[in-house]
Amino acid sequence: MREFHKSILVQQEDLDELQHVNNVRYVQWIQDISRDHWLHVAGTGLQKSVAWVVRRHEVDYKNAAVLGDKIRLRTYIEGVKGPLSTRVVEMHLDGSGALLLRSRTTWCLLDARTLRPKRIPDEINRMFGL
């Protein structure tokens, strides 16, 4: 399992009316780190030949983050089956390490030309340490 990490500093525009990070922003960060991980491991030829689409998000919110908090994100691929990939994303508060959320997203690989589901090839599995 190859992990990918990044950090985010909570800004004013990330907050909801309760002054906590908005749930929609968390989902955006889930998608952002997933894309960043893909771009980090895949060459441009592969990036042009396939596309990933979300089939399902499951998000468990554990604690709130507020303005100025630094959040550590970690993601990895938990498993694959046919064209489907299950990706885990965890977000922790930097410093205390408190778990903010854990998500599992099912992604579907598509052929970029036909936009039809495509079995995940061994080449991609190896990139993610599977």
Whole-model pTM: value is 0.93
The tokens for 85 are: 């990939």
d(CA 104, CA 30): 9
Domain boundaries of the chain, sorted by first residue: 4-127
* pLDDT in the model for residue 28: 97
Q: Give me the CATH topology for the region 4-127.
A: Thiol Ester Dehydrase; Chain A (3.10.129)
* pLDDT in the model for residue 1: 60
* pLDDT in the model for residue 130: 87
Where would I find the H helices in the chain? Answer: 23-41, 44-49, 122-127
Q: Does residue 29 contact residue 91 with C-beta atoms inside 8 Å?
A: yes
DSSP E strand stretches across the chain: 4-9, 50-61, 70-81, 84-93, 99-111
- Mean pLDDT, consecutive 10-residue stretches, the chain (130 aa), reads 93 96 97 96 94 97 97 97 98 96 98 97 92
* pLDDT in the model for residue 129: 86
